[in-house]
């Protein structure tokens, strides 16, 4: 099923910017703050007393069972579109 998004008056401008695709440069970070949570890469936390470099993603291998995958955060990558409002953060984990 498709999900419909309301883009408002600036729909044509937003779609126009998204159609240009991503910028050719990306930025990498050792930390990321979102919704009052902070995530650090394992490399950033070397030598520190506390650790917060694990990421948990809930997923399922069947329709009945939900599983949590716990991984160490290696890198945070920001993909930027051609305007500041549209960006995507990726967590590279191992």
Residue 86's pLDDT band, with cuts at 50, 70 and 90, is confident
The pLDDT of residue 78 is above 60: yes
Which tokens is 20 given?
Answer: 């240009």
Under a CB-based contact definition with an 8 Å cutoff, are residues 72 and 54 in contact? yes
| pLDDT given at position 69 | 79
What radius of gyration, in Å, describes the C-alpha atoms of the chain? 17
The pLDDT of residue 2 is above 50: no
Which tokens is 76 given?
Answer: 């945070």
For 17-45, write each residue's pLDDT tens digit: 777 778 878 899 998 888 888 888 988 88
| pLDDT given at position 13 | 72
């Amino acid at each position: 099923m498709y999900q419909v998004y309301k883009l408002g008056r600036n729909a044509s401008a937003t779609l126009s910017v998204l159609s240009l695709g991503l910028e050719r440069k990306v930025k990498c970070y050792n930390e990321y703050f979102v919704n009052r949570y902070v995530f650090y890469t394992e490399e950033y936390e070397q030598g520190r007393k506390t650790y917060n470099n694990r990421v948990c993603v809930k997923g399922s291998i069947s329709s009945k069972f939900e599983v949590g995958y716990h991984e160490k955060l290696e890198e945070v990558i920001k993909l930027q579109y051609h305007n500041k409002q549209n960006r995507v953060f990726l967590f590279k984990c191992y």
